[in-house]
Amino acid sequence: MSDPRDNPIFRVLTHPYTERVRVWMPYPLVLGIVTTVFAIPGGFIVYAVTGNAESGILIPFVCAAAVMGLSEVIALSGWISGYRPFVARWDSLHADRALALETGVRAAAEKRGFNIVWAKPRVGFVGVCGMEHEDRPAVLAPAQSPLRLSLLISSSRGAGCRVVVKLDVRTLVVWDTGEKARVTALGRDLLGESGDSREPVKT
């Protein structure tokens, strides 16, 4: 039996660059873009067999629309049930304080088993954990859901830096059965273990 991780779509969805983009891009849109790319060869095949250029062009976009529509319905269901990612934000932090927070949260995350897949000093990092469950059944228990942790540093409107920490379920939450409680508790634990006692302006 082949390893699902050898699947090219799986590799794209778990690529470090994709993880970085998924911090701010909605998952349904990511799935739609990936579906479009992988459906393009199918469109060429349809055109080669039928000679119908319109069908060949439409195939990738129809597939993408179907995938995006279904995943958006699932994401909306999770939102209605109350699921939200854990988010903490600091405004106007001194650059050295922002770097210390980045270093502390990253160290705490690595102790908790997060694998850092992208990092740039004074810019931030992205880490994942629970990836061993990605090839398991489609519906996972809250404690098994793969997670993505990000900390990004940007310039604030005033003096200093803005730091945003986000802990989210990597996959789609069909219905909140404990996922929100898990990411909230873990997010607060990571901040507490980072060694920085400054309270965020938003959680």
pLDDT, average across residues 108-112: 97
Q: How many CA atoms lie within 13 A of 25 on its CB side?
A: 16
Last residue within a domain, chosen from 31, 49, 80:
80
The pLDDT value given to residue 70: 95
Digit-coded pLDDT (tens) for 4-50: 567 888 888 888 989 999 999 999 999 999 999 999 998 888 878 88
Q: Is 116 helix (H, G, I), strand (E, B) or coil?
A: strand
Are 174 and 96 found together in one domain? Answer: yes
State how far the Cα of 13 lies from the Cα of 81, in Å rounded to an integer: 25
Buried b (16+ CB within 10 A) or exposed e, 69-102: eebbebbeebeeeebebbbbebeebeeebbbbbb
Tell me whether residue 12 is in a domain.
Answer: yes
Look at the chain and report how many structural domains it folds into: 2
CATH label of the domain that carries residue 156? 3.30.310.80
The Cα-based distances of 113 to 8, 12, 52, 140, 188 in angstroms read 25, 22, 51, 19, 16
The pLDDT value given to residue 2: 53
Are 171 and 93 found together in one domain? Answer: yes
pLDDT, average across residues 115-134: 92
Last residue within a domain, chosen from 37, 56, 80:
80
Last residue within a domain, chosen from 33, 52, 80:
80
The pLDDT value given to residue 1: 46
The domain in which residue 137 lies consists of: 86-193
What six digits make up the tokens of 169? 């379920």
Higher-confidence position of 176 and 199: 176
Are 64 and 98 found together in one domain? Answer: no
The pTM score is 0.88
Q: How many CA atoms lie within 13 A of 33 on its CB side?
A: 10
Tell me whether residue 199 is in a domain.
Answer: no
Are 42 and 15 found together in one domain? Answer: yes
Are 167 and 92 found together in one domain? Answer: yes
DSSP class of residue 202? B
Tell me whether residue 128 is in a domain.
Answer: yes
Residue 125 has pLDDT above 80, yes or no: yes
Q: How many CB atoms lie within 10 A of CB 4?
A: 11
Higher-confidence position of 202 and 143: 143
Are 38 and 108 found together in one domain? Answer: no
